[in-house]
Structure 1
Amino acid sequence: MSEESAKEREILMVMRKVLAAIVKDTAPEHKALQHPLSEQTIQDIRACFGLITAREKELAELAGRIATERPYFTDEAPAATTVSISSIGRIEGQKEK
């Protein structure tokens, strides 16, 4: 990845975080309350997220990476399981020689 595309990726990431923070900070506490942002502003923010996502995908493809980066929760179960090397090759119930 070139220095220029790395910088662009960093800018896109910061823009995504700032937009998400604005949405979070302006969201009403209860669904019964009206959102302080106009419907047009909300649509514009969604369009910005879409453009950011599209450009991030393009940069990933140009770099030869599959664009599978997705957010995850820290308490989410990992996709892979770690196995101890010492447990490999031993059948349960079999004694070591």
Structure 2
Amino acid sequence: MRPTQILLGGGEPNPKIGNYIGDWGTIGGANKQKGIVHWGLSANRQNVTAGAFHDAIFNTFRRTKSQIFYWLPAMLGGYYIMQWAVDRNHYLNSKAGRAEFQDSEE
């Protein structure tokens, strides 16, 4: 395996390896790179919440619509099982429920 240019002698060009790519932190050499555009917008000119409310409504609807058949049946099943268990518990702890099952506890 051939060592990297940095290991061979730092940032100096080596004709065996090829072109000089520059030292660490200045990869690309001392010349300014071309074709890279930097632009920015002042912080007081930005509207950071632009469209957030609109996107929240429509993204929530879209995501819920695509996932509803995965979680709705489980949620309905859990609700009905819990409702049955609560009703059964109330019955078993009522006067009629205790009278019906008084012999089975002994």
Same fold (TM over 0.5): no
Structure number with larger C-alpha Rg: 2
Higher relative contact order (CA 8 A, sep 6+): 1
